Structure 1
């Protein structure tokens, strides 16, 4: 299954550093980066931007490619292409898939992420 997502960031309100957006998905009881399955005819880039908007309410500008994640979910191989993305603005609305959005400094985001592969993506962004 092909999917795409972003490590979404914005300048910290303090003016020092950045904050990372994490989404909470009650179905999986996890904190992760926004991501989702490609729709028919959709490019990975289009999917990543759409999923960020759907899950966080934020429009975004894609940055550099980050490592692609390969794993098995519910017995199916999954490949997720990721980008860094700067948040450009918007309003979060809780939904069925994502009920919470958290903006955290990188160290706090790293501690909250559920999956080690998501921490590796964050590390690739903030180095």
Structure 2
């Protein structure tokens, strides 16, 4: 089992709606939520904040202790378990890097059509973001 952590990062958009941060990973040519492996000695929350900043340039704060957990098989016969935290964007300074070449803010009501994996949309809806509670 590979354990990873990431974030559903949101901000208030220009029209007042919520926007979700997605990244494009050129290695897989997909649009997804920022995430990565937990390093030795890190908590899930520490790993999630680090990975979000590494992949997006966003400094964020976790706004909910509860996580959404997704498990899926990898091509290597291992399973990956990702713990997602709900995060509010504080500062963004995206720089293209090895893992992600684009960072895109998408209106929460349109995000499903942009995501490559339906499991990512399940994570977003698990936090009730479509209800605009944040």
TM-score after normalising by structure 2: 0.89
Distance in 2 of aligned mates of 1:29 and 1:77:
21
Q: CA deviation at 1:27?
A: 0.9
Question: How many correspondences in the alignment?
Answer: 126
Unaligned runs of 5+ in 1: none
- Equivalence for 1:118: 120
Instruction: Provide the secondary structure at the position in 2 that maps to 1:45.
Output: helix
Instruction: Write 1 or 2 for the structure with the bigger share of strand.
Output: 1
Unaligned runs of 5+ in 2: none
Distance in 2 of aligned mates of 1:55 and 1:7:
13
Distance in 1 of aligned mates of 2:4 and 2:39:
9
Higher alpha-carbon deviation: 1-10 or 65-74: 65-74
Written as runs of structure 1 = structure 2, the 5 A alignment for 1:1-127 is 1-14=2-15, 16-64=16-64, 65-74=66-75, 75-125=77-127, 126-127=129-130
TM-score after normalising by structure 1: 0.94
Aligned-residue CA RMSD (Å):
1.1
Runs of 4+ in 1 over 6 A off after TM superposition: none
CA deviations on 1:71-95 (whole Å, 9 max, x unpaired) are: 1122211111111100001200011
Instruction: Provide the secondary structure at the position in 1 that maps to 2:67.
Output: strand
